[in-house]
Structure 1
């Protein structure tokens, strides 16, 4: 009986030590995935219809040069992976 209990305890500890890192709050996701999340968060926080050139306006046409991203001044949403800086990725990791 004691042997069975000891084996069960060892198995439980081994299982916890293996599974804990993958269950961490901020499990390691790639920089590319974080860039996509930052872009989505930026677009969803934009209040207008045309945050990015590739979005569609109300009339169904592409926003293109009419997008906030394309216009100087005002809001400048993050639309492309190249827009995301290393600092943005690091800040996102800290917050999430």
Structure 2
């Protein structure tokens, strides 16, 4: 019984210390898309970005928060995200 416990503990330790099997590293493009998704999910209204749609189904365009100076600044496009933000996101995820 003692050897079995030690074996289980060693096995669990090895599993926890290994990188996740099947967990692929995200590309920079995937990280940028995730940052955009998080930004948009935290926006309370319908018109975060110019390409968002209003409740009547029309495009928000210039009515979007992104298009208006001041106030909220949602991240809508890849070009809005610099390399430092990508690295900070990776660091936050632990990778």
Q: TM-score range by the shorter chain?
A: 0.7 to 0.9
Are residues 1:46 and 2:43 paired? yes
- Alignment gaps of 5+ in structure 2: 1-13
Aligned residues: 77
Which residue matches 2:91?
94
Q: TM-score, length-normalised on structure 1?
A: 0.73
Among 30, 55, 60, the residue aligned to 2:57: 60
How far apart are residue 21 of structure 1 and its match?
4.4
More helix, by proportion: 1
Among 20, 23, 34, the residue aligned to 2:21: 23
* Runs of 4+, deviation exceeding 2 Å: 20-25
User: Does the residue aligned with 2:36 lie in a helix, a strand or coil?
Assistant: helix
Deviations 1:52-72 (A, max 9, x none): 000100111000000000000
Which one has a bigger Cα radius of gyration? 1
Q: TM-score, length-normalised on structure 2?
A: 0.74
Which residue matches 2:34?
37
CA distance in 2, matches of 1:63, 1:23: 42
